[in-house]
Amino acid sequence: MVSEVVCPPEEEGGPDVAHGGWTASVMDELVGHTLVLRNELAVTGTLTVKFVKPVPVGWDLVGRAWITAREGRKVFVSATLELKSSGAILASADAVMVKRPADHFTDHYRWLEEQ
Question: What is the torsional sign of CA 93, 97, 103, 106?
Answer: negative
- What 3-state class would DSSP assign to 16? coil
Q: What is the pLDDT of residues 74-83, one digit of tens each?
A: 999 999 999 9
CA distance 93 to 95: 7
Q: What is the pLDDT of residues 33-90, one digit of tens each?
A: 999 999 999 999 999 999 999 999 999 999 999 999 999 999 999 999 999 999 999 9
pTM as predicted: 0.93
CATH of 2-113, one of 3.40.50.620, 3.10.129.10, 3.40.50.2000, 1.10.3210.10: 3.10.129.10
